[in-house]
């Protein structure tokens, strides 16, 4: 399997390893597989008794050539990644009532779904770096990478726990000082490993993201320090996340009754739900995917109208991991939509693909220039075959946490509450024979403020012990302030990375 950029009309191909290290394509597009294999339902159903990591192997194998990695190595990477989860099922299902189940994705080291992908990414990085360094000639410099990422809370933690202690990798995480939850900050800054560097920035998440973007656009610097990214556009993250759609589906699906299963997905950058989309086009008969947004609802508006328009401001909500202006992964879905067919993807149609890439470039250019684009009505209809959407404000988020706690004795985090509310908004119980699965994207212990407000529960009473303990551990963090110059922050961060690579 090879990969190509959504914006490249020539469809130049990269292997999995280069796709992993490159992240964003040089033309600004996102990497997608050159084709999507199509699985027979019968084959999928034959995977029912596999463990999570065995199932992951079946799926990953389709997307990484043998020549890049043999079966044993791939199996061992996946097993190592998912062994860090503290539940035997890795992503267990929890029944709320007969037609509603929670898919708990928070049993990893940082209690958020991002662990599923970042544990894998960390181990893939390590594997390929080791391979690169295997045949060094005398005097030749070791190949090392510097992973740099900006976080509004969850990504940074998951990246740090995925990369801590890994050979040939340094991990720099930028977060906006005082703007992430104290639990998230404690989780990141209490990690003692020497290859982990937390940087707090005087500014907002956007300031952090801007700095990272600018660092990556400094070609010299990027090459000298082998900058690598683990943000949600990294293909390896999407691939890792497809596994739990298959896993949960196989646990629920009844082949006699041909159960209709729909997933509600708390959505920000569109990475998690995109994995569901790939599961669907691989052949998993998912009934519907619900795009559950908070008050930052650019995606909801798109799925209502076919127009994608950047709002003027990003609002702060109780579900901060979904506070986004525009969704970076959305471009991938758009590519398939513009291709005009969400089904037979296993065949390549080079001419059609070329037009499609040109169209994507045009749409994204338009978005960059005027913050807006629309798609044709036939293409828009296509999205409705699979997607539904909803938006939830803060007040309803808190009410939903309260409701599920009181009625079902089940405590959810504010992001998951947005997913549950989406199901209610879309009247999920009105269709007979449909089973709804709500993705539970974080443990409520990561967002104690919202839980306290809605239920009165104190952090220490419901948060995992490790999180409570993290609060009192020794912290390490480098604070960077703007020295008054416009490029001040960027230069300071650059200098800091230089220094840390010297010692």
Ligand X SMILES: *Cc1c(COP(=O)(O)O)cnc(C)c1O
Active-site amino acid positions: 114
Q: Which two tokens stand for residue 10?
A: 């020539």
Task: Rule CB under 6 A: say whether 268 interacts with ligand X.
Answer: yes
Contact with ligand X (CB under 6 A) among 162, 271, 276, 445: 271
Please, which of residues 114-133 interact with ligand X by CB under 6 A?
Answer: 114
**Among 240, 269, 293, 454, interactor with ligand X by CB under 6 A:** 269
Select from 8, 17, 154, 338 the one that contacts ligand X (CB under 6 A). 154
322 near ligand X, rule: CB under 6 A: yes
Minimum gap (Å) between residue 34 Cβ and ligand X? 23
Contacting residue, 36, 112, 171, 382, with ligand X by CB under 6 A: 112
Q: Which is nearer to ligand X, 14 or 322 (CB)?
A: 322
* Among residues 270, 404, 428, 459, the one that binds ligand X under rule CB under 6 A: 270
Residues constituting the chain: 503
| Rounded-to-integer distance, Cα 80 and Cα 74, Å | 10
What's the maximum distance between 2 C-alpha atoms anywhere in the chain?
Answer: 69
Closer to ligand X by Cβ: residue 271 or 445: 271
Residue 121: CB minimum distance to ligand X, A: 14
> Which of 44/118 has CB closer to ligand X?
118
Tokens 């993705």 locate to 439
Question: In angstroms, rounded to a whole number, what is the distance separating the alpha carbons of residues 173 and 188?
Answer: 9
Beta strands in 40-195 (DSSP E): 93-97, 100-104, 145-150, 169-176
Choosing from 104, 272, 394, 492, the residue that interacts with ligand X (CB under 6 A) is: 272
Residue the block writes with tokens 């045949």: 135
| 188: its two tokens | 């990141």
In this structure, what DSSP letter does residue 438 have?
E
Within residues 204-243, the interface with ligand X by CB under 6 A covers: 232
How far apart are the C-alpha atoms of 239 and 3, rounded to whole Å? 13
Decide if residue 300 touches ligand X (CB under 6 A): no
Instruction: Find the binder of ligand X among 266, 283, 444, 448 (CB under 6 A).
Output: 266
- Strand ranges (E), 368-425: 372-374, 387-391
* Contact window for ligand X (CB under 6 A) among 162-170, 263-271, 310-318, 482-490: 263-271
**x-or-dash pattern for ligand X, window 423-452, by CB under 6 A?**
------------------xx----------
Q: With respect to ligand X, which residue has the nearer C-beta, 149 or 322? A: 322
Q: Minimal distance in Å, beta carbon 142 to ligand X? A: 33
> Given the rule CB under 6 A, which of 7-15, 262-270, 452-460, 473-481 is the region that contacts ligand X?
262-270
Listing DSSP states for 318-336 in one string gives S-GGG--SS-TTHHHHHHH
* Site stretch for ligand X (CB under 6 A), options 19-27, 216-224, 260-268, 346-354: 260-268
The number of CA neighbours under 13 Å toward the Cβ of 5 is: 18
Any contact of residue 397 with ligand X (CB under 6 A)?
no
Binding part of the chain for ligand X, among 77-85, 251-259, 269-277, 353-361 by CB under 6 A, reads 269-277
State the nearest-atom distance from the C-beta of 240 to ligand X, in Å: 12
Distance of CA 21 to the CA centre of its chain: 16
Q: Is residue 321 involved in binding ligand X (CB under 6 A)?
A: yes
Measured distance CA(264)–CA(239) in Å, rounded: 19
Tokens 């596994």, located at residue = 243
| Residue 30 interacts with ligand X (CB under 6 A): yes or no | no
The two tokens of residue 223 are 């090459």
Site for ligand X (CB under 6 A): how many residues?
A: 16
Which H or E run includes 309? strand 307-309
Give the nearest distance from C-beta 317 to ligand X in angstroms: 11
H helix or E strand, kind and range, residue 439: strand 434-440
In whole angstroms, give the CA distance from residue 330 to residue 240: 18
**Residue 182: both structure tokens together:** 């104290």
Output the smallest distance, CB 325 to ligand X, in A: 13
- Alpha-carbon distance of 443 to 158, in angstroms, equals 13
Question: Rounded to whole angstroms, how far apart are CA atoms 119 and 343?
Answer: 31
Determine the interface stretch with ligand X among 135-143, 264-272, 280-288, 429-437 (rule: CB under 6 A).
264-272
Three-class SS of 139-168: CCCCCCEEEEEECCCHHHHHHHHHHCCCCC
Looking at the Cβ atoms of 363 and 442, the one nearer to ligand X is: 442
Who contacts 274 (Cβ-Cβ below 8 Å, separation ≥6)? 238, 329, 332, 333
- Helix, strand, coil proportions of the chain in percent (round to 5)? 45, 15, 40
Among the listed ranges 198-206, 261-269, 300-308, 426-434, the one in contact with ligand X (CB under 6 A) is 261-269
* Minimum CB distance to ligand X, residue 459 (Å): 17
For ligand X, give the closer residue by CB, 247 or 270: 270
Q: From CA 52, how far away is CA 245, in angstroms rounded?
A: 11
Map residues 160-189 to x or -, x wherever contact with ligand X holds by CB under 6 A.
------------------------------
Site residues, ligand X (CB under 6 A): 112, 114, 154, 232, 266-272, 321-322, 415, 441-442
């Amino acid at each position: 399997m090879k990969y190509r950029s959504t914006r490249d009309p020539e469809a130049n191909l990269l292997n999995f390893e280069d796709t992993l290290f490159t992240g964003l394509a040089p033309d600004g597009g996102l990497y997608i597989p050159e084709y999507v294999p199509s699985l027979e339902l019968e084959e999928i159903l034959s995977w029912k008794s596999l463990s999570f990591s065995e199932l992951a192997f079946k799926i990953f194998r389709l997307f990484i050539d043998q020549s890049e990695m043999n079966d044993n190595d791939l199996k061992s990477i996946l097993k190592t990644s998912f062994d860090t989860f503290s539940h035997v099922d890795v992503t267990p299902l929890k029944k709320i009532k007969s037609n509603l189940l929670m898919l708990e994705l928070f049993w990893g080291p940082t209690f958020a779904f991002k662990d599923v992908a970042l544990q894998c990414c960390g181990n893939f990085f390590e594997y390929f770096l080791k391979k690169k360094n295997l045949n060094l000639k005398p005097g030749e410099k070791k190949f090392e990478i510097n992973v740099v990422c900006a976080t509004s809370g969850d990504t940074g933690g998951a990246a740090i726990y995925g990369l801590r202690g890994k050979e040939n990798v340094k991990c720099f995480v930028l977060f906006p000082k005082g703007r992430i939850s104290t639990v998230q900050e404690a989780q990141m800054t209490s990690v003692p490993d020497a290859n982990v560097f937390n940087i707090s920035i005087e500014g907002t998440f956007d300031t952090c993201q801007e700095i990272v973007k600018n660092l990556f656009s400094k070609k010299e610097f990027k090459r000298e320090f082998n900058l690598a990214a683990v943000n949600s556009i990294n293909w390896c993250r999407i691939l890792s996340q497809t596994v739990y759609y298959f896993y949960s589906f196989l646990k629920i699906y009844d082949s006699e009754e041909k159960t209709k299963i729909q997933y509600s997905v708390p959505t920000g950058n569109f990475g998690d739900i995109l994995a569901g989309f790939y599961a669907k086009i691989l052949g998993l008969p998912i009934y519907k995917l619900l795009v559950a947004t908070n008050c930052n609802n650019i995606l909801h508006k798109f799925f209502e109208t076919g127009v994608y328009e950047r709002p003027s401001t990003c609002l702060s909500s109780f579900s901060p991991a979904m506070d986004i202006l525009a969704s970076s992964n959305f471009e991938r879905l758009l590519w398939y939509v513009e291709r005009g067919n969400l089904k037979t993807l296993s065949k390549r149609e080079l001419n059609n693909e070329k037009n499609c890439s040109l169209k994507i470039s045009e749409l994204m250019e338009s978005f960059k220039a005027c913050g807006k684009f629309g798609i044709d009505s036939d293409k828009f209809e296509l999205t409705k075959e699979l997607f539904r959407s909803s938006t939830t404000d803060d007040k309803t988020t808190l009410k939903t946490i309260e409701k599920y706690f009181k009625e079902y004795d089940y405590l959810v985090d504010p992001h998951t509450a947005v997913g549950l509310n989406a199901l209610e908004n879309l009247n999920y119980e009105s269709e007979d024979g449909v089973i709804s699965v709500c993705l539970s994207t974080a443990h409520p212990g990561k967002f104690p403020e919202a839980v306290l407000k809605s239920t009165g529960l104190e952090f220490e009473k419901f948060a995992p012990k490790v999180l409570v303990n993290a609060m009192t551990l020794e912290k390490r963090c480098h604070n960077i302030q703007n020295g008054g110059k416009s490029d001040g922050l960027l230069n300071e961060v650059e200098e800091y990375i230089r220094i840390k690579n010297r010692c």
